[in-house]
Amino acid sequence: MKVITIRQPWATLVALGEKQFETRSWRTDYRGELAIHAGKAVDKTICLLEPYRSILQQHGYAIDQLPTGAIIAVGRLERCLSVEVNWGTFAILSEDDYRVEGTEYVFGDYTEGRYVWKLDKMRSLERPLSATGRLGLWNLPDDLLLDTNEIQHT
């Protein structure tokens, strides 16, 4: 299984289904199962800003409760799109002139020329699985087997 490391609070927002697009400076041709690894860093300043603070609170999270250094969710990487136009409050993506706005827009970096990974069917793990993150897409090590019984189906 492929894994992507994402800083907090964005990793938790993905795991909760509140963030369905992951923005990156690079594109990928990979499609399929994807595990979300929460990096060790937490952007505490962002966690205090709206809408981050209230959405995390709605799900019972505070800054010091965000999991770090662990795989926290699994789902699928469905598409990789490019940002065509950024209007400051919304962005237009390459496929079908898709418009990203609202909290989804706030949760990403939609600078023109960046890439947007469409994530789908995210399910949180009941217990985070401790792992060391890496840059780029990486493979789940053989000794870190995900127990499908521990995946919350939401």
pLDDT tens per residue across span 32-45:
999 999 999 999 99
pLDDT at site 152: 47
pTM of the model: 0.89
We find that the CATH architecture of domain 2-79+117-137 is Roll (2.30)
Query: Mind listing the pLDDT tens digit of every residue in the chain (154 residues)?
Result: 999 999 999 999 999 999 999 999 999 999 999 999 999 999 999 999 999 999 999 999 998 999 999 999 999 999 999 999 999 999 999 876 789 999 999 999 999 999 999 999 999 999 999 998 899 899 988 766 555 444 444 4
pLDDT at site 149: 45
Give the separation between CA 102 and CA 54, rounded to whole angstroms.
14
Give the separation between CA 102 and CA 51, rounded to whole angstroms.
10
pLDDT at site 112: 96
∠ CA 70-74-76, nearest 5°, is 140
Give the separation between CA 17 and CA 153, rounded to whole angstroms.
12
pLDDT at site 141: 80
pLDDT at site 95: 74
